[in-house]
Structure 1
């Protein structure tokens, strides 16, 4: 099993909170972003790399590539795995990457979504997908920063 220190759903992917706070708290040395769009967008990758501390590696893989190669990660790679949406997480799970827990960070409000916490908004599709993820025995915990107590997302749906 790869050395995944934490896995996070965050529609902003890598930003200051992820690039600094989470990386430092976990002592991660690799941020792996699993998202089909970002995997091919070098401009977005460059912008995200700007907030990552010196010495921390980043990888931007599609969902399928992540599922195919993550099991080959070196034990020395201390990984913070980040997905943009619950839909990405469900695809990863269905492709064989089953983790005990996903931390839910930012799922921003948009038209058709209902705000369930200050940082998490969901629509009917999100609810269905999050329930499917949970049905795999995966805990979904809302946490902005590592020191937050955390809230079980499934209880808020």
Structure 2
């Protein structure tokens, strides 16, 4: 069983806040960016890797590759999963990966999206994915930084 210490949705993926706050606060020693697009883009992988600056290994996997490899992960690895969208987190859970908690810190504003928190805007598909994750027992919280108080998505998304 993989030792997942952090699962976070941030559409920016790896950046300063993730590298200097989240990964350190959760004592992660291995980072997996779960994103089909980035897994196929070596240039973006190089740019995102710079934010970690050799602090730990980082891998860029498709959802399918993550589902294939994660169950066999070395339990000494304290894994941080970084998602661009809650849709990818839901795909992992549907594929049998256990996520006890999902932190959502940033999903950019765009036309047709609803604001749920200061830095979280969701479309209907993202909102449905968050709702389904909660139904499956995942505690979904909002926090920009680990030092902040968390807010529960259950307060803003009512399960059907």
TM-score (norm 2): 0.94
1:120 aligns with 2:135: no
Where does residue 131 of structure 1 map in the other structure?
A: 131
C-alpha separation in 2, matches of 1:79 and 1:126: 24
- Kept in 2, the 8 Å contact 1:20–1:53? The answer is no
Where does residue 6 of structure 2 map in the other structure?
A: 6
Alpha-carbon RMSD across the aligned residues, in angstroms, is: 1.1
Deviation digits for residues 46-72 of structure 1 (CA, Å, limit 9, x no counterpart): 000111043311000000110111111
Segment drifting more, 116-125 vs 31-40: 116-125
Give unpaired runs (5+ residues) of structure 1: none
1:149 aligns with 2:133: no
Where does residue 57 of structure 2 map in the other structure?
A: 57
Where does residue 30 of structure 1 map in the other structure?
A: 30
Aligned length in residues: 157
Deviation digits for residues 35-90 of structure 1 (CA, Å, limit 9, x no counterpart): 11111111110000111043311000000110111111112211111111011111
Where does residue 110 of structure 1 map in the other structure?
A: 110
C-alpha separation in 2, matches of 1:108 and 1:79: 25
Runs of 4+ in 1 over 3 A off after TM superposition: none
- Kept in 2, the 8 Å contact 1:90–1:129? The answer is yes
TM-score (norm 1): 0.95
